[in-house]
Amino acid sequence: FPVEDIRNFSIIAHVDHGKSTLADRLLELTGTIDKTKNNKQVLDKLQVERERGITVKAQTASLFYNFEGKRYLLNLIDTPGHVDFSYEVSRSLSACQGVLLVVDANEGIQAQTVANFFLAFEAQLSVIPVINKIDLKNADPKRVEKQIEKVFDIPGDECIKISAKLGTNVESVLQAVIERIPPPKVYRKNPLRALVFDSTFDQYRGVIANIALFDGVVSKGDKIVSAHTKKTYEVNEVGILNPNEQSTHKLLGFLGLLHMEVFNQRLEQEYNASVILTTPTVPYKAVLSSAKLIKEYKEKEITVINPAQFPDKSKVTEYLEPVVLGTVITPDEYTGKIIALCQARRAVQKNMIFIDQNRVMLKYLFPLNEIVVDFYDSLKSLSSGYASFDYEDAGYQAAELVKMDILLNGNFVEELVTIVHKEKAYSVGKNICERLKDSLPRQLFEIAIQAVIGSKVIARETVKAYRKNVLAKCYGGDITRKMKLLKRQTEGKKKLRKIGNIEVPKDAFIKVLKTQ
Ligand code: GDP
Ligand code: MG
C-alpha cells in the first residue's frame, strides 16, 4: 500500500462521549463490519468491558475507504476512556499522526477531553474536533464549539458536528481523516524501524505484534531484532488488523479501584485464576544515604514497588513520591467542596479558570497515592456526578513517608502493608482498623487488630469472640442433616484466607480498600 494513502488515527474522548459508537459507525461505513443491530461496540471485546460498558484495552482495526477515486487504508486505534486507564492512551497515540477528539454536545468539554487533547498536542498530532450527540434534545453544539476555541485554541469552524448514534454526518469524519491528517512518514529504503504498540501471544501462531512502521519494510521470512531485548525473531506472517483479532492480556499494575476490580474479574473469568488483592500502591523512590548502600543496591536511588521492601529511614537521605497534574472540570457551584477535597489530599493548586459562564477548570498537583484509591469516587459523589477528572504524570517530589503494618493477633497481613505520608498515618491506620473490624466476621476467639509503625502501635480495634455452633439448631436431629451442615461449613471456609488462625473472607480486603 503506498504510504501516502495510509492514515493512522485514534479516537479520544471523555468516557461516554461516544467514542465506541463512532468507531462502530466508521467500521460500518467502510464495510469492515455488517450494518446490523447487534454491532454494538465491536471494539470493546472483552467480557468485562461489555458488562461494564467501558473500554479497557486499546483495540485496532484497519478500514478501507474510497474517496475521490482513491482507495485509502485507515488504521483506527480505539483507546480506553475511563480515567483509571489513561496511560494506555499515550501508548496508542505514539502510533498515530492524528486524532478525532470527540466531545458530547450536551456535556461539553470534560477533564479527560482536556488531558487527552494535551497528550495528542504534545505528540504533535493533528486534532480533529468532533461534536457528538447533536440529536439530543439538550444538545448545545454552539456552546461546545466556543469551549473548544477557548480551551484548545482551535477555530470553531473546524468542529464536525455529528450524531454517532444515528450516523448523521459521520461520512465527513472519514473525509476529514483523509484531508486533515498527514500520512505516516516512512522511509521505505532505510533499514526496518518499527514501534510495537501492542502485542498478544497465540498458542499456535506465536507472538502477534501490532506495529507502527517508521522506516523500511517488513515481509514474511524476515529476521527482525527487538531493540530492547536484542532477541531475534522470524516473521511468519504479515497482516493488517481486523476487529476479530484477539486482544492482549498484558497486565496494565492497578491504577484505581475500578481497575483493580476489572482485573480481578478478568483474571477470574478468563483464566479461572483466584487472585490475592493487595493495597494498590505507587512506585516510591528512596535516595540511599551511604556509599556502602549505593554499592550494595548498585544505585543511588531505588524504586520501591512492594511496600514490604520499603527501606528503613536509617538507610535513606530522603524519600520521593510520584506526583501527577490533575484536571478537574466542574459546574461552578461545587468548586468550594472540590477545593477542600483537593487540600485534604495534599494537593497544590496550579490554575483555576472559567471555561464558560458556569464551568470551572481546576489544575492541581497531586501526590499520586492520594488519588489512586478513591479520589475519583469522592469527587463524583460530592458533585452529584457532574465533576470530571483526569491526570498526567508530573515526576517526583520529596515526601515524609513511613511504612505501616496491619496485624491480626500479632500476625502481619501482607495484603495491607501500606506506605503512608507521616501526616496521614494516624487517620489511615485508624480507618483501616475500623473497616477491618466491620468486615471481619466474629470468630471463636477475640481478634486484636493493630496498625503499627516500626514498633509503635498507632491504632487498635477488637473483634469480640463469638461462639458459632452450626449444630445447635438441630440438637438431637438426624445425623444426615448434621453431616450436611458440617459439610456446608467446610465448603464455606474455602473462600477464606487464613492469617494465623484467623479466617478472613477475601472480599473483606476489597471492603477495607474501598472505603479507606
Ligand atoms: P464511549 O465511552 O466514549 O466509548 O461512549 P459510547 O460509544 O459507549 O457511548 C456512550 C453512550 O452514549 C451510549 O449509551 C451510546 O448509545 C450513547 N451515544 C453515543 N453516540 C450518541 C449520539 O450521537 N447520540 C445519542 N443520543 N447518544 C449517543
Ligand atoms: Mg467505549
CB contact at 8 A, 480 and 488: no
Centre of ligand 2 to C-alpha 50, Å, is 9
Mutation to probe ligand 1, out of 10, 21, 84 (largest number of atoms < 8 A from CB): 21
Half-sphere exposure of 142 (CA within 13 A, CB side): 1
pTM of the full structure: 0.62
Q: Which amino acid is at 328?
A: V
Q: Is the ipTM here above 0.95? A: yes
* Ligand-binding site membership of 507 (annotated): no
Cα separation, 148 vs 394, whole angstroms = 25
Ligand index nearest the alpha carbon of residue 49:
2
Q: Closest Cα to atom 16, ligand 1: which residue?
A: 165
| Contacts of residue 444, Cβ cutoff 8 Å, sequence gap at least 6 | 465, 466, 467, 468
Among protein residues, the one with the nearest Cα to ligand 1's atom 14 is: 16
Q: Which atom of ligand 1 approaches the CA of 14 most closely?
A: 3
Q: Read off the pLDDT of residues 456-513 as tens digits, 9 standing for 90 and up.
A: 999 999 988 765 555 555 555 565 665 665 565 555 444 556 676 777 776 676 667 6
344-371 pLDDT, tens digit each: 999 999 999 999 888 999 999 999 888 8
By the 8 A CB rule, do 128 and 99 touch? yes
Ligand 1 atom, smallest distance to 44 CA: 4
Cell of 401: 513517608
Q: How far apart are CA 286 and CA 247, in angstroms?
A: 37
Torsion sign across C-alpha atoms 438, 441, 442, 448: negative
Q: How many CB atoms lie within 10 A of CB 279?
A: 24
Furthest C-alpha separation in the chain: 89
Q: Whose CA is nearest to atom 10 of ligand 1?
A: 16
Tell me, in angstroms, the distance from the centre of ligand 2 to residue 80's CA. 7
> What 3-state class would DSSP assign to 341?
helix
Ligand 1 environment, Cβ below 6 A: 13, 15-21, 55, 81, 132-133, 135-136, 163-165
Task: Please tell me the distance between residue 383's alpha carbon and the centre of ligand 2 in angstroms.
Answer: 23
CA distance 170 to 25: 7
- pLDDT digits over 31-77, tens only? 766 565 454 555 544 444 444 444 444 457 788 899 999 999 898 87
Least confident residue range of 48-57, 207-216, 274-283, 387-396: 48-57
- With vertex at residue 320, the alpha carbon angle to CA 288 and CA 282, rounded to the nearest 5 degrees, is 115
Q: Angle, to 10 degrees, between the axis of helix 507-514 and the axis of helix 425-439?
A: 140
| Structure confidence by residue, pLDDT tens digits, 158-188 | 999 999 999 999 999 999 999 999 998 877 7
Is 498 annotated to bind a ligand? Reply is no
Please compute the mean of the pLDDT values over residues 315-321 and round it to a whole number: 94
CA of 38 to the centre of ligand 1 (A): 15
CB 276 within 8 A of CB 413: no
Q: Do β-strands 98-104 and 126-132 pair in parallel, antiparallel, or remain unpaired?
A: parallel
Q: Which amino acid is at 219?
A: S
The three cell numbers locating residue 120: 495528542
Would you state the pLDDT for residue 510?
Answer: 64
Q: Tell me what the mean pLDDT of segment 237-250 comes to.
A: 46
Q: What is the DSSP letter of 486?
A: H
Q: Which of ligand 1's atoms lies nearest the C-alpha of 168?
A: 23
- Mutate-to-test residue for ligand 1 from 10, 14, 16, highest number of ligand atoms within 8 A of CB: 16
134 is annotated as contributing to ligand binding? yes
pLDDT of residue 51: 46
Q: Is 133 annotated as a binding residue?
A: yes
CA distance 108 to 360: 12
Nearest Cα to 90, choosing from 80, 75, 100, 101? 80
Taking the CA of residue 166 as reference, the ligand 1 atom at the shortest distance is: 23
